Amino acid sequence: MNVKELEKTARALVAPGKGILAADESHGTIEKRFQSIQIANTEDNRRAYRDMLFTSKGFGDHVSGVILFDETIKQKGLAGTPFPEVLAKSGSIPGIKVDAGTVAMTGSPEEKITQGLDGLRERLIAYRQLGARFAKWRAVITIGTTIPTLPNLRENAILLARYAALCQEQDIVPIVEPEVLMDGDNTIQRCLQVTEQTLHETFDALYDHCVVLEGMLLKPNMVIAGKKCPAQATPELVAELTLQCFRHTVPCAVPGIVFLSGGQSAAQATHHLSLMNAGPLPWQLSFSYGRALQDEALKAWGGKPENVAKAQKLFAARARLNGLARSGKYEPKMEAELVRA
Ligand code: 13P
């Protein structure tokens, strides 16, 4: 394990003014995104869509790295260049999603366990040869009246830690993603309690598995009320409770925390990130958004080559606003830029 290289990659991924684009939708997830714009989920459409995103002007200015799916890391863009090379040329680091999705947990079927450790060492070796310098594994934690259970939190934490240790063995920076879903009707206080417990269990397991904290990134949810909760919190309260939660649970040896957007609107996710970056923090606080970076561009693209330029402008504008949010300089009135784009 080359700790210096791991640290260097992790720090580059959370460099000031930049963040990560999660473009690692599985075939099932991209199907849902394409259904929303009524285009077929074919390999050519997936290539054209990712090409549109990755070749937008100034891509590397605000996108430090991109999480790819297995198909995409092996695919060539429309100009015939392999996608990892397209990214590297723009100054963005290629990454790879390595989990194999979730299954219902035996004995507690409302909860999920992530799969994908089988053959992971060999896959990591192959992905590194294809250019990957970081990876992602997502655990899913569901809030309900009697869940999450401690066995679910512990099992997911152990899987995240084993994955992270295997990545570091191959000099690949692990993004450790324990996502507490925001789909329910729970209050923000309940999300705070569950997220805090999830992160405690996660860092306990990372310690047990000797994961080098300086060579990893954490990808958590924000502390936020469930989407169906009648009492939605103010952006200021989301920022305050999220930071409180991390101060209690995330060691300052971790170089960066990169949020998922989890179903927040693009504007909401940017605003929350900016509020949290208003003062000094022990870690870099950045983004690793999927939907919150892509949704506006996806809609404008609609699967039509003639819309590529417009979609790319929207993508670049949203990436720039998130870049500003890295230093607390975003303001909601800047949303007007996207209307003009
Ligand atoms: P969202 O930002 O759309 O939640 O996606 C981020 C991600 O990578 C989820 O695993």
Cα(23)–Cα(186) distance, integer angstroms: 29
Cα(262)–Cα(227) distance, integer angstroms: 10
Distance 290 CA to ligand 1 centre (A): 4
Distance 117 CA to ligand 1 centre (A): 21
Distance 261 CA to ligand 1 centre (A): 6
pLDDT bracket for residue 341 (50, 70, 90):
confident
Tokens of 274: 């900016």
- 43 three-state secondary structure: helix
pLDDT bracket for residue 245 (50, 70, 90):
very high
| Catalytic machinery residues | 177, 219
Which amino acid is residue 237, in one-letter code?
Answer: L
Give me the domains of the chain, ranges plus CATH numbers: 3-340 (3.20.20.70)
For residue 294, the ligand 1 atom closest to its alpha carbon is: 3
Tokens of 287: 């983004």
Mean pLDDT of the chain: 98
In this predicted structure, what is the pLDDT of residue 337?
Answer: 84
Site to probe by mutation for ligand 1, drawn from 20, 53, 160, 291 as the one with most ligand atoms within 8 Å of Cβ, is 291
Task: Please state at what angle helix 188-208 crosses helix 235-249, rounded to 10 degrees.
Answer: 30
Q: By alpha-carbon position, which residue is closest to atom 1 of ligand 1?
A: 290
Q: By alpha-carbon position, which residue is closest to atom 4 of ligand 1?
A: 262
pLDDT surpassing 90 at residue 223: yes
In this predicted structure, what is the pLDDT of residue 68?
Answer: 98
Q: What is the pLDDT of residues 72-82, one digit of tens each?
A: 999 999 999 99
pLDDT bracket for residue 340 (50, 70, 90):
confident
In this predicted structure, what is the pLDDT of residue 338?
Answer: 83
pLDDT surpassing 80 at residue 41: yes
Distance 57 CA to ligand 1 centre (A): 23
Cα(147)–Cα(138) distance, integer angstroms: 18
Question: For 157-178, what is the mean pLDDT?
Answer: 98
Tokens of 277: 């970056």
pLDDT bracket for residue 308 (50, 70, 90):
very high
Distance 183 CA to ligand 1 centre (A): 13
Tell me the sheet residues that pair with 103.
113
Ligand 1 binding pocket (C-beta < 6 A) is: 22, 138, 177, 260-262, 289-292
pLDDT surpassing 90 at residue 339: no
Question: For 90-103, what is the mean pLDDT?
Answer: 98
Q: By alpha-carbon position, which residue is closest to atom 8 of ligand 1?
A: 22
Tell me the sheet residues that pair with 96.
68, 135
Question: For 200-220, what is the mean pLDDT?
Answer: 98
Site to probe by mutation for ligand 1, drawn from 261, 286, 295, 296 as the one with most ligand atoms within 8 Å of Cβ, is 261
